Amino acid sequence: MATSQQLEAIKGAKVLMVGAGGIGCELLKSLALSGFTDVHIIDMDTIEVSNLNRQFLFRQSHVGQSKARIARDSVLRFRPNMSITPYHANVKDPDFNVEFFKQFNVVLNGLDNLDARRHVNRLCLAADVPLVESGTTGFLGQVTVHVKGKTECYECRPKPAPKTYPVCTITSTPSKFVHCIVWAKDLLFAKLFGDKTQENDLNVRSGAAASSSEQPEDVFERKKGEDVHEYGRRIYDHVFGYNIELALSNEETWKNRQRPRPIYSKDALPDQPAKLNGNFELSNSSDDPLPLSAMAALGMKNPQEVWSLSENSRIFLEALKLFFEKREKDIGNLSFDKDDQLAVEFVTTAANIRASSFGIPLHSLFEAKGVAGNIVHAVATTNAIIAGLMVLEAIKVLQNDAKNYRMTYCLEHPSRKMLLMPVEPFEPDKACYVCSETPLTLEINTEKSTLRDFVEKIVKAKLGMNLPLVMNRSALLYEVGDDLDEDMVANYAANIEKVLCELPAPVTNGTIVMVEDLQQEMTCNINIKHREEFDEEKEPDGMLLLGWNQAPPTEKDNNNHVINGVSTSAELPSVEVVDDVDMEISEVAPVKKRKVLDTPVDTNNKKKVEEVNDDDEDDDVIMLEGNNPEYGKKRKLI
């Protein structure tokens, strides 16, 4: 039961919610039932069918409509006197600036991507508004509190980075199923159905074409009048047969590797149709109101069964045929979407055929979809638990009860009979370039790298600035904005293509460059250190930013699934988890100790809890940083 002071804080609060998805729906419901009366919601997404199994404010009839607006309408049905203001927009839009954030008493985040989280974190710091962060991945979840000057900001600790793979591994020497998925999704699917003008590493010229001076023929281009079945088999034979044979011609590559097996359609597909998955019944999908599906057209009914090579081959060719017969107008503009059934079927079967060639275990459609969409399937109960914890922390923030702020982790397996592990927040990191404005160092070849390289790879990609301004002392080198005159735009357009050392105010070894984002009201100084050479594999950007907190990515272990750098069997997750997104990291920098509470603290109970004897090893909770025991730190139970 809430105290009178808590009720007073709740009723007088103006709350901003960012995100109306899995966590957001539960959060808005919990805020309404807790007595909050003034809530604003920002979400740019519309409702999809796949949302309905866990976002309970939405119904089938709402598909295609704004999440923020429908969430408001659903809650107003049982809390009609509540004021809920929805914004169907991107939180990074210029309208949501520092002045906008200043009107709120607390901001509650239910986002699903790091870029938007960092943006909100910076706006909250600039506006001096407390932020309550959250995230869930399957059965894991966490809630963290970020108050300027009192606790660490969201960017004080390393954050997981999406894994990228060397092109040579993807195109030539895959060893894991995820490599085959990336190949099928980012190369083959994009080549056949995406933007034809984009470069693609998939196209392999024939020996004759490569040795001639004539323009090589694009084997992926469908010939005029070519039957779609013939085209499909030609593509199949080229990517799974000819390309593999071409790769085998390089004997050096396979000295210490298992040699792949070329697969041609005549070998994978017998002349007579086989009985597929116990159900081979050709169906007329053209009149079916359900989403277009190759597996349905072939009578395949079980997405959780692992198909044979023959079954994968049939579905692959059927999916390709359906794209050209039923969705031809979309070809050339398609990009992979995990909610596009036909795209998922195509990518799954292409990945499985390639996996079969390289001796990699095949996966079901259900498993492959999770890998292709970076999905760890959401659990509605975890979302509800995390939303409830967010409301509890928001109430503490509104009462300025700083000594009782808690970072609370939701565990998959009990630790000391607890599934919820409250932890004292960290203090601000004095080395954080966001909340402490500590200068960064950039190692870069100032004689080869351009200002565009610096802006795109560092300022935008790593520092997360949206509207950057770049200065060298008093010289303005680059700026983005709608209010620039033509001369300024032309000047910056000329600068952006220049090598750093050839700019009007040259950037060389020892230069201190200031970058600023006026929307986020954030400034950062970067010390430039000239460096001649970089390792292309370890430092593919051709530059190295030091002092920037982001954890290096890792790959999934086949036996122990990694979720945001945390094994599902780990006792206590110590990195961010995000709603419906599977981010992977290998390690996090060692951090300071903090106390783990055996039970949540009652804000009204001031009685101290005795410390447990340090000699008893069983009384220690080991927090694994980044699933790496080397970084494990003991936290005393108190």
Longest dimension (CA), the chain: 85
CA atoms within 13 A on the CB side of 403: 5
CA distance 176 to 233: 26
Cα torsion at 249, 254, 255, 257 (round to 10°)? -170
Task: Report how far apart the first and last C-alpha atoms of the chain are (Å, whole number).
Answer: 26
> Would you give the DSSP letter of residue 637?
B
> Would you give the DSSP letter of residue 145?
E
Cα torsion at 19, 21, 24, 30 (round to 10°)? 160
> In the annotation, is 168 catalytic?
yes
Q: Which two tokens stand for residue 482?
A: 């709608």
Q: Which two tokens stand for residue 463?
A: 């520092």
Number of H helices and number of E strands within the chain?
19, 18
Sequence-ordered list of residues with C-beta below 8 angstroms from that of 142, at least 6 positions apart, any chain:
134, 135, 386, 407, 408, 409, 410, 573, 576, 577
CB 46 within 8 A of CB 90: no
User: Which of 124, 168, 180, 524 is an active site residue?
Assistant: 168
Q: Which two tokens stand for residue 360?
A: 């990699």
CA distance 101 to 81: 24
CA distance 155 to 132: 13
Residue 514 CA, distance from chain mean position: 29
Nearest to 43 by CA among 22, 74, 13, 14: 22
Q: Which two tokens stand for residue 311?
A: 């079954």
Q: What residues act catalytically?
A: 168
